[in-house]
Amino acid sequence: MHGMKATSPLLLAAVLGASALIQTAQAQTPLVKITDAKLPFTVSLPKGWVGLNLKDGLGGVTVASQAQPPAALIRLLFIPKNGKTVDLKNEFSSFEKAVKESGSALTFKGEKPANYGGVSGLLRQYVITSKNDTLVMRVWFGNGAKNFYSFQLTVPSNAFERLSKTFDQVLATVNF
């Protein structure tokens, strides 16, 4: 028993050390700059992620952490305002209603003001529960001069902490 006590702290230190190395590597996900004349912004996205066309008619860029589910999804969308005034709280209400109408349960987890690339907006976090899985979603709605922006991270709950940091890295690179 005495030998076990001496081994446990060493084992624990080795595990924690390996865990710290993994977290450090994950915290600095390599990003690749994307410039597309169709986008009203530039951004850097995670290297190795797969571009998707969801054929939903929305302007922007969508990437997945891998080609097959379960995958994390980052969507950076824009909608021209065409001179209309956009109320972010109303936009969130419409978004929440649409998610609930899809048959998923939506739990609001928090909100904070957030500015990216000089555009002010609101960042909200949700947990979305469907019959198949539990997802965590961070959504930033931004009110630009010409466009309404919806930047989203949707991720399986078990990968949220790690990929939330990656999403923060991506958002920090947005330039309008």
Q: pTM (2 decimals)?
A: 0.82
Identify the pLDDT of residue 26.
Answer: 45
Dihedral of the alpha carbons of 57, 58, 60, 66, in degrees to the nearest 10:
-80
Structural domain of residue 144, as residue ranges? 30-172
Total domain count, the chain: 1
Does a structural domain hold residue 14?
Answer: no
* CATH number of the structural domain spanning residue 140: 3.40.1000.10
49: its two tokens: 């992620």
Residue 164 region, left (φ>0) first, then alpha (ψ -120 to 50), else beta? alpha
Ordered mean pLDDT values, 10 residues apiece, the chain (176 residues): 43 43 55 93 95 90 90 95 94 94 93 96 95 92 96 94 94 96
Burial of 141 (0-12, 13-18, 19+ CB in 10 A): buried
Does a structural domain hold residue 3?
Answer: no
Identify the pLDDT of residue 74.
Answer: 97
Does a structural domain hold residue 21?
Answer: no
